[in-house]
Amino acid sequence: MSNPDCPGCGEALEAGPQLAITTNAKQAHQRVNEAAREQVLHDLRHENFEQLRDFINGARPATATGGERPRLLDVDAGYGWFIRQAATYAFHGQEHRTRGARAVAARAGVVLRDGFFPQCLEPDERFDVISFNDSIEHFDDPAGALAVAAGRLRPGGVLALNLPDAQGALYRLARLLRRLGVSGPFDRMWQVGMPSPHRHYFNRGNLWRLAGQLGLETVAVDALQSLRLKGLYARIAYARPGAVVTSGLLWLGMLPLLAALRWLHGDIMVLVLRPGQPARNAADSGDGALAG
């Protein structure tokens, strides 16, 4: 089954349970406690964003900016965490979610533009870095979003993508459990019932091919942790309010998995791309398919 949202990306890996879910559905927003969600995700994202910042700085070529700080745009910036940690940049962020999410960011001193990318940008705005942190997989047309973003880069600018990996150990386990009749973990991976469910699951192979078709070359590739011991129980308890005993047992059961993940394929991949000739990367991705 070809994926109409991303021509040329390969065959669909999974139909995806999210296809029946409406993005930004009012009832989905009402189910999200932004303050609680911000608290349980903070530790994991904070550590990952520190790694991501250093990774981008190491991969981005030094370019002349006329004495001004390089400009960063974080697309769908959530609570503004990455913007706060990328302090060496003149930062800009955009977020289309509820006022609650933007209010959380505002309390930390980060003002986010309301609206969707790229409509919220000024006609002549250009950036040194445009980052998609857990956002490109939510776009109906990821190829179109990346093409527009590439056109908004200054000379020497880069795109930074941080997104789930369809080859990740947790995703593969969730897919196996679904085939055995246990669909909860798989639905959670696709963020079913959330205001902005996943539309795609990429792997390195199809993402490299998509980048090449857009005239983008891969500068660097890395991985980030999807689970850390610090804050793990809080994440479990947030998803299972009131189920204290069950949450505790699940936390205990996940400890061996957490240790094993250090040796398995990571569930979050990071790529830095730049405009150039089509990338020629050896696809070590297995099926090389796009889920969506």
CA 184, CA 169: separation in Å to the nearest integer? 16
Cβ(224)–Cβ(160) below 8 Å: no
Chain-centre distance for alpha carbon 114: 19
- Confidence (pLDDT) at 127: 93
CA 161, CA 132: separation in Å to the nearest integer? 5
Map residue 133 onto helix, strand or coil.
strand
- Confidence (pLDDT) at 144: 94
**37-66 b/e (C-beta count within 10 Å ≥ 16 → b):** bbebbebbbebbbeebbebbeebbeeeeee
Closest CA to 205 of 276, 265, 121, 262: 265
- Confidence (pLDDT) at 276: 85
- Confidence (pLDDT) at 29: 41
| Residue 94: φ, ψ to 5° | -135, 140
- State pLDDT tens for residues 182-207: 998 898 888 887 777 888 899 988 89
- Confidence (pLDDT) at 196: 76
First and final CA of the chain: distance in angstroms?
A: 10
- Confidence (pLDDT) at 133: 92
CA 33, CA 43: separation in Å to the nearest integer? 17
CA 103, 270, 59, 152 torsion: positive or negative?
negative
- Confidence (pLDDT) at 136: 94
Low-confidence ranges of the chain (pLDDT < 50): 1-32, 37, 278-292
- State pLDDT tens for residues 127-165: 999 999 989 998 989 999 999 999 999 999 999 999 999
pTM here is: 0.77
In the chain, at which residue ranges do the beta strands (DSSP E only) sit?
71-75, 90-95, 113-114, 127-133, 153-164, 216-224, 268-275
Chain-centre distance for alpha carbon 68: 28
Closest CA to 211 of 127, 124, 149: 149
